[in-house]
Amino acid sequence: MTLLLGLFDSGLGGLTVLRKVNQLYPHSPCLYLGDTARVPYGTRSPDEIRAIAAEVVRWLRWQGVGVLLMACNTSNALALDVAVAEAGVPVLGLIDSVASVISSDRVGVLATPATARSGAYRRAIHASRPDALVIEVGCPEFVPLIEAGHRFSPELRRAALAYIAPLLAAAVDTVVLGCTHYPLLRPLLTELLPAGVVLVDPAEAAAERLGPLLGSLGEAPEVERQGESVVPAVQRSRLCVTGCPDSFATGAEDWLGHRPSVERVELRSTAGAF
Site residues, ligand DGL (CB under 6 A): 9-10, 13, 39-42, 72-74, 112, 115, 143, 179-181
CB contact at 8 A, 72 and 92:
no
Q: Which is nearer to ligand DGL, 3 or 184 (CB)?
A: 184
CB of 212 to ligand DGL, least distance (A): 23
Contact partners, residue 273, CB within 8 Å, separation at least 6 = none
CA atoms of 41 and 113, how far apart (whole Å) = 9
Q: Which of 30, 72, 139, 240 is catalytic?
A: 72
Q: In the annotation, is 72 catalytic?
A: yes
Q: In the annotation, is 179 catalytic?
A: yes
Q: Which is nearer to ligand DGL, 3 or 160 (CB)?
A: 160
Contact partners, residue 12, CB within 8 Å, separation at least 6 = 34, 146, 147, 181, 184, 248, 251, 252, 255
CB of 39 to ligand DGL, least distance (A): 5
DSSP codes joined into one string, 88-157: SS-EE-SGGGSGGG---SEEEEEE-HHHHHHTHHHHHHHHH-TT-EEEEEE-TTHHHHHHTT-SS-HHHH
CA atoms of 221 and 192, how far apart (whole Å) = 38
CB of 240 to ligand DGL, least distance (A): 16
Q: Report DSSP state, residue 62.
A: H
CB of 183 to ligand DGL, least distance (A): 10
CA atoms of 70 and 127, how far apart (whole Å) = 21
Q: Which of 30, 139, 179, 240 is catalytic?
A: 179
Instruction: Provide Rg for the chain, Cα atoms.
Output: 18
Find the residue with minimal CB distance to ligand DGL. Answer: 42
CB of 83 to ligand DGL, least distance (A): 14
- 40 cis-preceded (ω within 30 degrees of 0): yes
Q: Which residues are catalytic?
A: 72, 179
